């Protein structure tokens, strides 16, 4: 939740603040990979403002796709964690 709403940097700081032994090594690896993504609300703002500036006539279309891209990015990030869970052995 922290990664999606704020950003991955804050989520990594929260992960680092956890006591040693909270996660087993495999779980920690899955979480680290799941945090490595740029699907957060700030990224949506950057996407809409940058593409809107490059193509002002399509700004409304880009704004409509912003939240869809956020959802797709979160799904891709979660799938990265899931794949790491499948290929690592503990």
Domain count of the fold of the chain? 1
Q: Which pLDDT tens digit goes with each residue over 22-39?
A: 999 999 999 888 888 777
Domain that holds residue 25: 2-87
Q: What's the sign of the alpha-carbon dihedral 38, 40, 43, 47?
A: positive
Q: What is the DSSP string of 5-66?
A: HT-HHHHHHHHHTSPTTSS-HHHHHHHHHHH-S--SHHHHHHHHHHHHHH-GGGHHHHHHHH
For 32-88, how does the pLDDT look when each residue is reduced to its tens digit (9 = 90+)?
888 887 778 888 888 889 988 999 999 889 888 888 988 998 899 889 999 999 998
């Amino acid at each position: 939740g922290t990664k999606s709403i704020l950003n991955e940097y804050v989520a990594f700081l929260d992960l680092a603040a956890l006591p040693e032994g909270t996660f087993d090594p495999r779980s920690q690896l899955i979480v680290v990979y799941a945090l490595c993504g740029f699907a957060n609300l700030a990224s949506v703002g950057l996407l809409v403002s940058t593409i809107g500036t490059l193509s002002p006539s399509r700004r409304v279309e880009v704004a409509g796709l912003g939240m869809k891209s956020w959802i797709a990015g979160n799904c891709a990030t979660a799938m990265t964690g899931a794949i790491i869970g499948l290929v690592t052995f503990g």
